[in-house]
Amino acid sequence: MTQLTGHSSALDFAQPEPVDMASGKYVKLWQGPQHPGITGNMSLELTLDGDTIIDCKTHVGYLHRGFEKLMERRSFIQNFTVVCRIAVPEPTFNEYLYSHAVEQLSGIKIPERAIWLRTMNLELMRLASFLMWIGGMSGAFGQYTVPNWTTAYRDFVLDLFEEMTGARIYHMYIVPGGVRAGLPDGFEKRARDIMDGAEKLLDQVERVMFNNAVFKARSKGLGIITPDMIDPYGIVGPNARACGVERDIRKDEPYLAYDQLNFETITGKDSDAYERAYLRLQETRQCISLIRQCLDKAPKDGPFQADMPNVLHWKIPAGETYVKAECTRGEYGYYMVTDGSEFVRRVHVRGPSYTHAIAVMERLAVGNNIADIAGLMVSLHTYPPEIER
């Protein structure tokens, strides 16, 4: 049993001591893929000593669809419809990054209005994603009221998406060259109403969830991430910020309209499940503020799409690029290589779930009670479809 204390053990990547399964002292337990406590379709192979986890192995591959291969045989315009399916609860980040990479390689400059609409779209997505996550977090600790509130409220945000983009889940709104449409009439008012309601809801959530004795008792001290783990494990986003590491691409290397938005990076002190959850709650509030700023500042008219070639035989000059953006879970990146043909030569999608759900999860699970494994997993905010693509 490895206890994560101090600097040296955090960097200790040695395999845990092999356990003698034949002794009958230990039990091997598969949690998932069919298990309600798992976020999505993946599984954990747990070795238990009593109800304490002494070893955890993550198994993925249940959702592998071969996106990176699929993209190599679709044209540049077709791919943006495919990539959004990579991370189901948060498709727009894929759309944005894919489009951004293509625009970089082909030298397209998108118009101002598209930049703002994209920013707003991404922030709305962040809000929707966090709202669902809060529900998941609460549900993982056995409380079913908050999920009912926030998941239902997320639906109102999805209604906004539906109006803005024409779809609820896979918006396919951010397209290489800009966005597909402007805002519909009356959108701004409805969006502001929903933001007001969300703010009120978050206050209530904070009260009943974060001040809940049971939730506090179970989540505090659960799965502590220490600052020295950040770089070796490649931890990003709220998971990293919760232990005081100020790391936010929106601030560090501003993209889209983030340099014109007024916000501060939120950090925590010690990154346990509670701290991470609370930080996300605050980021959800920040989201609302950012969306309001976008609504204020976004140009009301003007072009929303750059001049495009005929997309049916769109060739992009040879080149390579890496583009990144801050999604709800941290740095999301696209590495793209083109060879001057009508198809992309290679795309690699770097989702933050990969490290969080595999290396970090395997490390943090050890020593915890089996009942907390679901909560721990949710607190890392991982999406299996994004791990395997």
Partner 1 sequence: MFKKTLNTEDTLKNSGLTDEEQQLFSNARPQAYEPYPIKAVEDFANWARANSLWILAFGTGCGAIELRPLMTARFDANRFGVAGRPTPRQSSVFVIGGYASVKTLKRIIRSYEQMQGPKFVIALGICPVNGGMYFDSYNTVNQFDQYLPVDLYITGCMPRPEVLVAGIMELQKKIKAGECNGANLYVENFDWYKSNQKKVIKNWDMPDYNW
Partner 2 sequence: MSLKDLLSPFFVWQRAFEKPYTTLRPTLDRPGAPAYRGFHINITETCVGCGSCQTICQNNAIDMVAVEAYAGRAGDSGLRPRFDYGRCCWCGLCVDICTAASLRMSNEYAWISDDPDSFHFTAGVDDKPWQDNELGYRRAEGYHLNPPKRIEMPMLSAQESLKSFAEVTLGYNEEQAKKEADRCVECGICVATCPAHMDVPDYIHSIRDGDYEKGLQLMYRTNPFPATCGRICTRRCESVCPVGILGEPVAIRWLKRFIVDQVDKKDYQRILEKPIASTGFKVAIIGAGPGGLSAAYYLRQQGHAVTVYEAQATGGGMLRYGVPSYRLPDAELDKDIDHITSIGVEIKYNSRIGKDVMFESLLENYDAVFMSTGLSVPSSMRINGENHARVLSGLQILADVASDRDPGIGKKVAVIGGGNVAMDAARVSRRLGAEVTILYRRRISDMPADEEEIHECQQEGCTIVPQAIPVEIIDADNKQKVCIKWGEAKMVDDPKGGRARPVLQEDKMHTETYDCIISAIGQSSNLDYLSKELQEQLAFEWGKLTPAEYQHTSMKKVFVGGDFANRTADAISAIEDGHHAARGINRFLNPDFYTALEKQEN
Residue among 214 and 318 whose Cβ is closer to partner 2: 214
C-alpha–C-alpha distance, residues 2 and 54, integer Å: 8
Strand order in the sheet with 43-49: 26-31, 43-49, 52-59
Name the minimum Å distance from CB 115 to partner 2.
16
Choose the contact partner of 35 out of partner 2, partner 1, none; CB within 5 to 8 A by kind: partner 1
Query: What is the C-alpha end-to-end distance of the chain, expressed in Å?
Result: 33
Restricting to residues 23-82, name those near partner 1 by CB under 8 A.
33-36, 40-41, 61-66, 69-70, 73, 82
Q: Tokens representing 228?
A: 């020295």
Rule CB under 8 A: choose which of 7, 17, 28, 148 binds partner 1. 148
Which amino acid is present at 16?
P
Residue among 87 and 243 whose Cβ is closer to partner 1: 87
Rg (C-alpha) for the chain, rounded Å, is: 21
Residue among 61 and 142 whose Cβ is closer to partner 2: 142
Comparing CA positions, the residue from 90, 32, 27, 101 lying closest to residue 61 is 32
Residue among 158 and 202 whose Cβ is closer to partner 1: 158
Name the minimum Å distance from CB 95 to partner 1.
14
109 lies in the site for partner 1, by CB under 8 A: no
Name the minimum Å distance from CB 20 to partner 1.
19
Comparing CA positions, the residue from 248, 219, 217, 245 lying closest to residue 230 is 245
Name the minimum Å distance from CB 110 to partner 1.
26
Name the minimum Å distance from CB 143 to partner 1.
13
For residues 51 and 371, the answer to whether their CB atoms sit within 8 Å is yes
Which part of the chain contacts partner 1 (CB under 8 A), choosing from 19-27, 48-56, 144-152, 226-234? 144-152
Q: Provide CB contacts within 8 A for 343, sequence distance 6+.
A: 72, 73, 74, 75, 76
CA angle 23/59/147 to nearest 5° reads 110
Residues that bind partner 2 (CB under 8 A): 74-75, 77-79, 81-82, 143, 145, 149, 152-153, 155, 159, 162-163, 165-167, 170, 172, 180-182, 184, 204, 207-208, 211-214, 216-217, 303-305, 307-313
Catalog residues that contact partner 1 under the rule CB under 8 A: 33-36, 40-41, 61-66, 69-70, 73, 82, 85, 88-89, 132, 135, 147-149, 151-152, 154-155, 158, 168-170, 385
